[in-house]
Amino acid sequence: MEGREEANVPLLTSSPYHEGELEFGLVKRAWEESKKLWTIVGPAMVTRVAMNGMIVVTQAFAGHLGDLELAAITISSTVVVGFSFGLLLGMASAMETLCGQAYGAKRYHMLGVYLQRSWIVLLACAVLLLPMYVYATPLLLLIGQPEELAVEAGRLSLWFIPIHFCCALLLPQQRFLQCQGKNMVNAIVSAAVFVLHVFLSWLCVSKLRVGVEGAAMILNLTWSITTLAQFCYIVCGGCPLSWGGFSMEAFSDLWEFLKLSAASGVMLCLENWYYRILVLLAGNMKNAEIAVDALSICMNINSWELMIPLAFFAGTGVRVATELGAGNGKGARFATVISVATSALIGLFFWVLIVAFHDKYAFIFTSSEVVAEAVDTLSLLLAFTVLLNSIQPILSGVAVGSGWQALVAYVNIGSYYVVGVPVGVLLGWMFNLGIWGLWVGMIGGTSVQTLILIILTMRCDWDKEARKASTRMLKTWGSTKSSMNIDA
């Protein structure tokens, strides 16, 4: 009976399974879903590794200039830029919910409208966040950072203002292209610019000796090129179905879009900020430069590998949103299962890799034996963090695709800031475990969050979620048609 019901589910199977064909049918379904998933995940992985790689390469070049330079550019790029980037990234994830569901419902015109609404909302938010860059030094001093480190990091933060505004345009563009299957555009542009970034960083920092300011300048340039290239592709005819030109429709229902963007922003930035807080706390420990350097190296390794689960986050969000938009709840559920299983296997591979090279990888970022030894003590925690992070982002992707951002924001507050940070502070200072204690707290918070998301996903009524997605599309489409009639 179950086989006959699933025969009517599109994108999963085209005929009923007989008893002897059940195993073969399941394998075939898994293969078909994997192909759909990897058409998004593969290019998204390249895009995220390349974009994050630009920051990692910049920090690596700065690290060989000296410990202070590495700590300063880590604080400015990871904390100051990271805090604002986390909020903008989260707000842009509303595009995955709305564009994915609109594409599944074949409301292609709405993708271009959502893109313009996202530009408006994120640019306004970027302006409001600007004082964080201008007053970075006093803010860093206020939270207890050493004066020399705070002054140098604050000075470098001013150099990252162009990246801040690039994010407000670039992040919605990436999701706009991703939701309609134009993933290779993101990947090709990002990969090409990454190669350019490595060359220019080597030329300016290693050969021309322009210092840490030159490294920041190169990062500004390459992110700007990426943003402009994608913008030109979109508006110059690359998306004829979804881009109909600039329209006043972008200003209709702006409040509803803002609410979903804000919920998305809170959900993801609470998670993103969690890791930045650890770097800030490390800056208040003894031997702050060594502590920040060691933690930042581990965070860089983690963030670079995290680009793989985050690619699955993107792929899962799009697949779930598309299936729900098409009214296919069972398809969304099956996409979730395949994505979690695939990402977990990849995470296990990197767990083994980090354990095997625990005393080697630090020298990519530093020449200091002291920093390398500090990194080695964190290797096992890093390995388990990588394994845990191979599951958690995929479940967050399910939340984005389903529109659960507001609910998960509360989960993140409790997991990270009621459990994770207090436990990390307690172990780090009260029990004198230092950075190791901070990281144990971080893992504890992430574990709690992952467990809650697993329970939410397992208890989800997917048919009900599909009906909710259809209702959202009908409401938005009706509102847009009314706006068009008024303009006419």
- pLDDT, residue 453, reads 92
Structure tokens at 313: 């986050």
Across the range 164-169, mean pLDDT stands at 92
Q: List, for residues 335-354, the tens digit of each pLDDT value.
A: 999 999 999 999 999 999 88
Q: How far apart are CA 337 and CA 16, in angstroms?
A: 21
CA dist., res. 411 & res. 303, Å (int): 22
Residue 488 lies in a domain: no
Do 108 and 241 form a contact (C-beta atoms < 8 A)?
yes
Contacts of 48-51 with CB under 8 Å at 24 or more apart are 48/307, 48/310, 48/311, 48/314, 49/304, 49/307, 49/308, 50/187, 50/190, 50/191, 50/193, 50/194, 51/190, 51/194, 51/223, 51/226
8 Å CB contact between 337 and 325: no
pLDDT mean across residues, the chain? 81
Quick check: 98 and 91 in contact, CB under 8 A?
Answer: no
Quick check: 291 and 285 in contact, CB under 8 A? yes
pTM of the model as a whole: 0.75
454 band by pLDDT with thresholds 50, 70 and 90:
very high
Average pLDDT over residues 14-24: 49
Residue 268 inside a domain? The answer is yes
Residue 18 lies in a domain: no
Nearest to 448 by CA among 271, 317, 266: 271
Q: Residue 19: inside a domain, yes or no? A: no
Q: Determine what percent of the chain is predicted with pLDDT higher than 90.
A: 23
Sequence length of the chain is: 488
Averaged pLDDT, 122-126:
92
The answer to whether position 313 is within a domain reads yes
Domain, as residue range, for 220: 8-13+24-480
93 domain-assigned: yes
Q: What's the rounded mean pLDDT across residues 459-479?
A: 74
Contact 50, 194 (CB under 8 A): yes
* Burial tier of 426 (Cβ tally within 10 Å: 0-12, 13-18, 19+): middle
pLDDT higher at 416 or 360: 416
Q: How far apart are CA 85 and CA 62, in angstroms?
A: 21
> Residue 139 has what pLDDT?
86
Question: Residue 198: pLDDT above 90?
Answer: yes
* pLDDT value of residue 6: 40
Q: What is the pLDDT of residues 271-318, one digit of tens each?
A: 767 766 766 676 666 655 676 677 777 877 887 788 788 889 888 988
| Digit-coded pLDDT (tens) for 381-424 | 888 888 888 998 899 889 888 888 888 888 888 888 889 889 98
- What's the pLDDT score for residue 140? 85
d(CA 246, CA 130): 26
Distance separating alpha carbons of residues 99 and 180, to the nearest angstrom = 8
Asked if the structure places residue 487 within a domain, the reply is no
CA–CA separation, 427 and 443 (whole Å): 12
What is the reported pLDDT for 435? 75
- Closest Cα to residue 469, out of 110, 10, 94, 100? 100
Q: Tell me the mean pLDDT in the region 68-95.
A: 78
Residue 177 has pLDDT above 50, yes or no: yes
d(CA 217, CA 221): 6
What ranges in 246-368 are assigned the alpha helix state H? Answer: 254-282, 288-325, 329-356
Based on the structure, what is the number of domains in the chain? 1
Residue 486 counted as domain residue? no
pLDDT of amino acid 276: 66
Mean pLDDT (whole number) for 55-77: 76
Instruction: Give 212-250 pLDDT, tens digit per residue.
Output: 788 888 999 999 999 999 999 999 989 998 998 888 888
